[in-house]
């Protein structure tokens, strides 16, 4: 029956957490951990099959042109790349609007000469009233009439604004338009992009004999190889700067540098991407490596990372959901049983080791096998179940405490019950020798006070006084031994061991004095006769334990040092001191570096011939 209870409760936990784990908030947390894994794994070696021609800030400075550039520039770029032997030329630059017929014609003529060029367009969505209108924005007809292919460059982000997936295609009604990445791969594998060799399955996307695992219905995970500029990158201006073209920079210096000839061999047999990299064109994005260098990645490099991932067949794969759910359910049951039965002081270390081990296991799967498994779910589950185990064990303890109180409360003193719960052996009669500090606090001239006030007045002011004093004692880790009329007897260091028990007793005494001063002001304001008190403190060996009768156990302390403490308190009537607090020499020796105290006198203990040194306690240091 007990195991069934554990399984049922674990099932409830499992369902509740599964609901929480599918929220966007939780997905964002998991994404951040995966981003950290990318950074820890570091930059990966790149095949060098892909190069990027960037249109960046340096380009605009060199050419002294505003965007969009004259399209004959792009025609010159194509000619120079083809002359250099580029395998493919992919424009992540949209030519969706006409410029002038002469420039457009020059670009179209250059494109028409070659069959290895891919242009770009996109699917745009427009909110119109309560509906969304979709439109495929293609290159201008003058360019598409050349017969060259074009693909979409849509980039989607997760809920936190980071790009982790690559859009394989866009769908408008029944029309499917492949991305420039898929078209690039099709050309690389010499596959007709409009043939049956490209297929979209529920879990995979097929390009010829190659399969890309999908993360969503139309996207795949990108295995980023590093931060921005990981791929070989060349400036657009340098590529068009051949002997027949003079840049603005060269005109100013009155020289001819012909940068193209210096880099022409870099493009041979390469897949060349051309794209904008300036932030002002809003085609830069947050990627997993952003947290490391705070650099946004240009869209053109996101396409390059996807192509590199596929060419090297280094796909990121998500851990299969069914085995994972089975694993996490079994883990929930085992963790719940473990944390319900094992002492928290032991389980906390084992749980910590489990958390560290699982996080390392998640990172190992990512870095060595490119498998992405939820990283935070198990650690959070361990933490929550650990605290649940604490609650369960606490409830069991409360139940046991209640039983002990009901069973023994009528036979032993209430002060002993808590210690008995911790250690039932305390029921045995007897005591031990132990060094403690005892504090006696007695109201000055209380008998005359009771005679001059009504019982109600006396009880009311005494209750207020005792409540405040007891609270201070207990706050300073003292134990109320007993009340003797209006006198409070407290011990520090028993029944629970307490380091610096003399210090805690002195601190409590000064706080009691301070609080009494405040009460006196209050009583005077209320036209009540205020109480005053004297406090005596002594440290030494006493006998502590259950020293009551066979019917009533009473945890208390006895011995000469208890008597000495009472004597020290009585000396507050004989010596005038600032706070009416006197401590013995044995107490002073233990706290002399922590308090301000003045030697008063040598005093004798009543009924004894022993002389003890006494000190006036003034303040803490």
Q: Does 66 fall in a domain? A: yes
CA–CA separation, 536 vs 441, rounded Å?
A: 7
Encode pLDDT of 35-44 as tens digits.
999 999 999 9
Q: What is the pLDDT of residue 548?
A: 62
Instruction: Let me know whether 465 and 551 are in one domain.
Output: yes
Encode pLDDT of 177-214 as tens digits.
999 999 999 999 999 998 999 999 999 999 999 999 99
| pLDDT band at 54; cut points 50, 70, 90 | very high
| pLDDT band at 429; cut points 50, 70, 90 | low
Instruction: Let me know whether 9 and 79 are in one domain.
Output: no
Instruction: Over range 441-465, report the average pLDDT.
Output: 90
Instruction: Let me know whether 441 and 585 are in one domain.
Output: yes
Q: What is the pLDDT of residue 134?
A: 83
Instruction: Let me know whether 196 and 117 are in one domain.
Output: yes
Q: Does 417 fall in a domain? A: no
Q: Does 493 fall in a domain? A: yes
Encode pLDDT of 490-513 as tens digits.
999 887 778 899 999 999 999 999
| pLDDT band at 450; cut points 50, 70, 90 | confident
Instruction: Let me know whether 305 and 283 are in one domain.
Output: yes
Instruction: Let me know whether 549 and 428 are in one domain.
Output: yes
Q: Does 37 fall in a domain? A: no
Instruction: Let me know whether 382 and 514 are in one domain.
Output: no
Q: What is the pLDDT of residue 243?
A: 63
| pLDDT band at 428; cut points 50, 70, 90 | very low
- Identify the CA nearest to 149 among candidates 104, 171, 172, 181: 181
Tell me the residue ranges of DSSP E strands in 156-269.
165-167, 169-172, 175-178, 198-200, 204-207, 210-213, 219-221, 232-235
- Asked whether the predicted pLDDT for residue 565 surpasses 50, the reply is yes
Instruction: Over range 560-577, report the average pLDDT.
Output: 91
The average confidence (pLDDT) of the chain is: 87
Encode pLDDT of 254-299 as tens digits.
445 556 667 888 999 999 999 999 888 889 999 999 877 788 999 9
Instruction: Give the three-state DSSP class for 459.
Output: helix
Instruction: Give the three-state DSSP class for 433.
Output: strand
Q: What is the pLDDT of residue 378?
A: 92
- Percent of the chain at pLDDT above 90? 58
| pLDDT band at 412; cut points 50, 70, 90 | very low
- Identify the CA nearest to 153 among candidates 12, 329, 273, 333: 273
Q: Does 408 fall in a domain? A: no
CA–CA separation, 84 vs 267, rounded Å?
A: 6
- Asked whether the predicted pLDDT for residue 449 surpasses 70, the reply is yes
Last residue of a domain, one of 284, 311, 338: 311
Q: What is the pLDDT of residue 253?
A: 46
Last residue of a domain, one of 285, 311, 337: 311
Instruction: Let me know whether 249 and 348 are in one domain.
Output: no
Which residue's entry shows tokens 């891919």?
A: 118
- Percent of the chain at pLDDT above 70? 89
Contacts of residue 550, defined as CB under 8 A and 6 or more positions apart, other chains included, come to: 429
Instruction: Let me know whether 374 and 479 are in one domain.
Output: no
Quote the Cα angle for 267-268-273, to 5°: 40
Instruction: Over range 16-44, report the average pLDDT.
Output: 90
CA–CA separation, 339 vs 385, rounded Å?
A: 7
Contact criterion met (CB below 8 Å) for 594 and 504 = no
For residue 474, the enclosing domain spans 424-620
| pLDDT band at 407; cut points 50, 70, 90 | very low
**How many domains, in total, are found in the chain?**
3
Check which CATH number belongs to the domain holding 488 and give it.
3.30.70.1230
Q: Does 404 fall in a domain? A: no
Higher-pLDDT residue of 574 and 394 is 574
Instruction: Over range 569-583, report the average pLDDT.
Output: 93
Q: Does 36 fall in a domain? A: no
Higher-pLDDT residue of 475 and 582 is 582
Residues listed for the chain:
621
| pLDDT band at 218; cut points 50, 70, 90 | very high
Q: What is the pLDDT of residue 400?
A: 61
Q: What is the pLDDT of residue 23?
A: 86
Instruction: Over range 314-343, report the average pLDDT.
Output: 89
pTM as predicted: 0.64
Instruction: Let me know whether 350 and 445 are in one domain.
Output: no
Record the tokens describing residue 574, joined without a space. Answer: 């004989």
Instruction: Let me know whether 562 and 467 are in one domain.
Output: yes
Q: Does 42 fall in a domain? A: no
Instruction: Let me know whether 429 and 288 are in one domain.
Output: no
Last residue of a domain, one of 291, 311, 331: 311
Q: What is the pLDDT of residue 201?
A: 93
- Asked whether the predicted pLDDT for residue 416 surpasses 50, the reply is no
- Asked whether the predicted pLDDT for residue 248 surpasses 70, the reply is no
Direct distance between the N- and C-terminal alpha carbons of the chain, in angstroms, rounded to an integer: 61
Quote the Cα angle for 606-611-616, to 5°: 90
Contact criterion met (CB below 8 Å) for 458 and 585 = no
Q: What is the pLDDT of residue 409?
A: 40
């Amino acid at each position: 029956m007990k195991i069934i209870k554990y399984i049922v409760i674990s099932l409830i936990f499992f369902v509740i957490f599964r609901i929480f784990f599918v929220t966007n908030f939780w997905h964002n947390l998991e994404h951040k951990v995966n981003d950290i894994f990318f950074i820890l794994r570091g930059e990966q070696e790149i095949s060098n099959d892909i190069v990027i021609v960037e249109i960046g800030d340096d380009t605009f400075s060199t050419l002294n042109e505003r965007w969009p550039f004259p399209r004959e520039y792009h025609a010159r770029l194509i000619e120079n790349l083809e002359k250099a032997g580029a395998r493919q030329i992919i424009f992540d630059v949209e030519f969706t609007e006409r410029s002038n017929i002469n420039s457009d014609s020059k670009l179209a003529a250059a494109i028409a000469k070659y069959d290895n060029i891919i242009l770009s367009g996109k699917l745009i969505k427009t909110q119109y009233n309560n509906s969304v209108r979709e439109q495929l924005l293609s290159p201008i007809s003058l360019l598409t009439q050349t017969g060259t292919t074009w693909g979409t460059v849509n980039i989607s982000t997760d809920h936190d604004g980071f790009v982790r997936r690559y859009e394989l295609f866009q769908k408008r009604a029944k029309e499917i338009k492949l991305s420039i990445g898929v078209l690039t791969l099709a050309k690389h594998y010499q596959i007709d992009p409009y043939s049956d060799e490209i297929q979209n399955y529920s879990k995979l996307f097929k390009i010829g004999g190659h399969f890309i695992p999908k993360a969503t219905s139309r996207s795949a995970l990108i295995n980023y190889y590093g931060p921005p500029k990981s791929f070989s990158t060349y400036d657009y201006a340098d590529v068009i700067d051949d002997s027949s073209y003079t840049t603005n920079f060269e005109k100013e210096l009155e020289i001819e540098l012909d940068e193209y000839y210096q880099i022409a061999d870099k493009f041979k047999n390469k897949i060349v991407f051309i794209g904008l990299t300036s932030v002002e064109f809003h085609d830069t994005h947050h990627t997993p490596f952003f947290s490391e260098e705070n650099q946004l990645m240009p869209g053109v490099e996101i396409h390059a990372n996807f192509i590199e991932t596929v060419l090297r067949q280094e796909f990121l794969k998500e851990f299969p959901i069914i085995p994972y759910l089975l694993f996490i359910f079994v883990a929930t049951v085992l963790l719940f049983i473990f944390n319900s039965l094992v002492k928290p002081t032991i389980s906390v270390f084992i749980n910590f080791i489990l958390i560290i081990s699982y996080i390392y296991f998640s990172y190992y799967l990512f870095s060595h096998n490119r498998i992405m498994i939820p990283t935070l779910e198990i650690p959070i589950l361990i933490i929550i179940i650990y605290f649940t185990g604490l609650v369960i064990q606490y409830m069991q303890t409360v139940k046991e405490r209640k039983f002990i109180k009901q069973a023994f409360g009528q036979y032993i003193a209430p002060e002993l019950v808590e210690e008995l719960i911790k250690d039932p052996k305390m029921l045995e009669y007897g005591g031990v020798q132990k060094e403690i500090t005892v504090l006696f606090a007695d109201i000055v001239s209380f008998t005359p006070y009771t005679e001059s006030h009504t019982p109600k007045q006396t009880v009311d002011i005494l209750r207020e006084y005792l409540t405040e004093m007891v609270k201070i004692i207990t706050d300073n880790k003292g134990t109320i031994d007993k009340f003797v009329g209006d006198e409070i007897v407290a011990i520090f260091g028993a029944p629970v061991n307490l380091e610096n028990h003399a210090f805690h007793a002195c601190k409590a005494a000064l706080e009691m004095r301070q609080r009494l001063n405040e009460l006196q002001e209050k009583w005077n304001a209320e036209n009540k006769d205020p109480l005053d008190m004297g406090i005596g403190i002594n440290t030494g060996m006493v006998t502590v334990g259950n020293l009551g009768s066979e019917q009533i156990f009473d945890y208390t302390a006895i011995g000469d040092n208890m008597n000495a403490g009472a004597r020290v308190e009585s000396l507050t009537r004989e010596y005038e001191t600032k706070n009416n607090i006197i401590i013995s020499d044995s107490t002073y020796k233990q706290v002399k570096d922590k308090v301000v105290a003045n030697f008063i006198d040598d005093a004798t203990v009543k009924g004894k011939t022993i002389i003890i040194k006494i000190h006036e306690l003034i303040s803490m240091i």
